[in-house]
Chain A
Amino acid sequence: SQQGEEDPQALSIQEGENATMNCSYKTSINNLQWYRQNSGRGLVHLILIRSNEREKHSGRLRVTLDTSKKSSSLLITASRAADTASYFCATDARAGTALIFGKGTTLSVSS
């Protein structure tokens, strides 16, 4: 069953601009994670936010979580061409259960 849905599906911006991606999910969660995938490669974990947290930062990344709206956003500030990738949110319905991934947002950053 589809748990996470990212929005937009694709995003094109210029270097230096901020990129915002959104994720909505259907059921209650234990935590929500964001991953990055370069073309043809495996996924890399970016950041995890627990269900009792509202905001988290890591370098140029800022994640928010609104459990009342069942949604999360990932903000990448001062984007670089190297940020070009697909970004996925993933959730687990209960602690220790397998992650369910959304469809992803494809980000293209041009210099």
Chain B
Amino acid sequence: EADIYQTPRYLVIGTGKKITLECSQTMGHDKMYWYQQDPGMELHLIHYSYGVNSTEKGDLSSESTVSRIRTEHFPLTLESARPSHTSQYLCASSRRTNTGELFFGEGSRLTVL
């Protein structure tokens, strides 16, 4: 079982609110990722980090931002949530190797009313 944790698991909020989705891993992995997944659909990479103070945008344009101040922590923030942000957000991590096997958290399902 992967040691990567996401909170909250479920969140229902109103439009315009600021939210932060938390992701922490205890495996000492350098690489961390955020994927967005609509129900029954593929995963889209929205942010990734290869180490502390390193963050990059993924393939899918996102209005969210991320930070990587500590190796184990990779929070995702939406400054002003909109209904279009309703989705599941999956955090993952991997070792700094060439194989790139990902360990996923259980996900945060966000609903913006």
Listed in ascending order, the chain A residues whose CB lies under 8 Å from chain B are 1-2, 30-31, 33, 35, 40-45, 48, 86, 88, 90, 92, 95-104, 106
Contact = CB atoms under 8 A, between A and B. Distances in A.
A40 B108 CA distance: 9
A103 B42 contact: yes
Given A101-B35, A101-B42, A96 B100 contact: yes
23 contacts: A2-B42, A30-B98, A33-B102, A35-B102, A40-B88, A40-B109, A41-B107, A42-B104, A42-B106, A43-B102, A44-B104, A45-B101, A45-B102, A45-B103, A48-B101, A86-B40, A90-B102, A95-B100, A96-B97, A98-B33, A98-B100, A103-B41, A103-B42
Interface in B14-62: 33, 35, 40-43, 45, 48, 58-59
A70 B90 CA distance: 27
Interface string B86-113: 0010101000111111111111010000
Nearest to B105: A42
Interface of B: 2, 6, 33, 35, 40-43, 45, 48, 58-59, 88, 90, 92, 96-107, 109
Contact of A43 (B45, B59, B90): B90
Q: Which 9 A-B pairs have the closest CB atoms?
A: A42-B104, A95-B98, A101-B43, A103-B42, A43-B104, A42-B106, A45-B101, A98-B48, A42-B105
Contacts of B35: 101
